[in-house]
Structure 1
Amino acid sequence: MIVAQKKRRENIIEYLLYMWQVEDLIRAANVTEEGIENLILPRYQGDEEMLQSIRAWYRELIDMMRTESKQKGGHLDINRIVLLELEELHQRLSSNPEDYVYSGLYFKILPALIQLRGKGTKEGERDIETLLNAVYGYITLSLQGKEISDETQQSMKQISAFLAILAHRYNLEHEQELKSN
């Protein structure tokens, strides 16, 4: 919860990837409060008030996952809304002929994006979701200690740079909102 709030203020891309990881952790805990108590909460240090707050946050996420039938997969609506905001921003930025930096980075990652789409993305999946899924998969493979080709590592560096610019532009657009939270 504390990490999520900080990431949301500082880097919306990292926030979204973090929340996807939290969704998967909750699924690993069988989408139950008992699972959260046993699997996730022991990792937290803090006073009882903070732990109660974290417990309540996970409880809310569990309730949302159950209500939205996301126990087996998919992303919570709160996360899908952020993704849609990022997709809309991407469309605005990529259609602006005067934004050379963004367009240049987009065209640089376009071959990787096309290649990712060729590997079978979900129907209706748009650019940013495809890129985020690739980064999430890359992070997962890295955490598992799996071997990752040099080509994939280079693509991930380019994609990460592109997503960092998108996150920066998102923050610029939402600066006032971010300051008040």
Structure 2
Amino acid sequence: MIIAQEKRKTNLAEYILYMWQIEDLIRAYKFDINLISEAVLQHFNLPEEKQVEVKDWYENLIEMMKIEKIEEKGHLQIIKNNIEELFDFHLHLLNNKKDNAYIALFQKSAGHIAEFRTKSQATDDNNDIELCLTALYGILLLRLQKKEISKDTLAAVSSFSEMIATLTAKYKAFEEDKD
């Protein structure tokens, strides 16, 4: 929860990826808050009140995942909304045509995005930003499993990473200007 709050403020893409990890962690522990407490929460050296707050946060996520029927796969609607926010901002940058650097990053990634869309059998419902984030998350999982990743895949994901990093930095600046 504490990490999620900080990431939400500083980098929306990292927040989304972190929340996907949390969803997977909840699934791995079969939605059992006691198992999550034993395996994860007890390792945080937090004051008692913060421990209760973090446990409540996990319990709320568990409940939301059950209500939204994403026990097996899928993502929370609030996270999907964050992806849509980023995608809308991405479209704004592309349509504005004033940010040539970002447009160039997207053009550099566009072929890789199309290829990933085909390989992953994504539908038109999956926007370009969601595809990039999915690829980045997939690489994270492959690295955790110590699996080999091809040079072509690393090149594609590198272009996604650069584009997403730029997008989230610009989004953060945009949000700060609104406040």
Q: Report TM bin, short chain.
A: over 0.9
Higher mean C-alpha displacement, 6-15 vs 43-52? 43-52
In the TM superposition, residue 154 of structure 1 has moved relative to its aligned partner by 1.9
1:159 counterpart residue number:
160
Query: Which string of whole-angstrom CA distances, capped at 9 and with x for unpartnered residues, describes residues 96-146 of structure 1?
Result: 222201100000011110110111114411100111100000110011100
- Tell me whether 1:102 sits opposite 2:102 in the alignment: yes
Task: Report runs of 4+ in structure 1 exceeding 6 Å deviation.
Answer: none
Deviates more, 1:154-163 or 1:36-45: 36-45
1:72 and 1:43 map into 2 onto residues whose CA distance is 26
Mean CA deviation greater in 10-19 or 87-96: 87-96
Matched AA of 1:99: D
In structure 2, the partner of 1:127 is 128
The aligned residue for residue 57 of structure 1 is 57
Aligned residue number for residue 39 of structure 2: 39
Q: Deviations over 1:153-180 (max 9, x none)?
A: 1222211110001101110121167x7x
Offset, 1:41: 1.5
Q: Match of 1:146? A: 147
Deviations 1:8-51 (A, max 9, x none): 11111001000000000011111122232233223322221121
1:43-98 residue CA offsets vs partner (Å, 9 max, x unmatched): 32222112111101101111111111111111101101101101111111111222
SS of alignment partner, residue 96 of structure 2? coil
- Counterpart CA distance in 1 for 2:88 and 2:144 is 31
1:66 and 1:123 map into 2 onto residues whose CA distance is 26
Amino acid at match of 2:129: I
Comparing 88-97 and 32-41, the one that deviates more: 32-41
Query: Could you state the TM-score of these two structures normalised by the residue count of structure 2?
Result: 0.94
Could you list the runs of 5+ residues in structure 1 that have no partner in the other structure?
A: none
Q: Which amino acid aligns with 1:148?
A: I
Q: Where does residue 24 of structure 1 map in the other structure? A: 24
Q: Secondary structure at the match of 2:45?
A: coil
- Aligned match of 2:72: 72
Aligned to 2:81: 81
What is the aligned-residue identity percentage?
Answer: 37
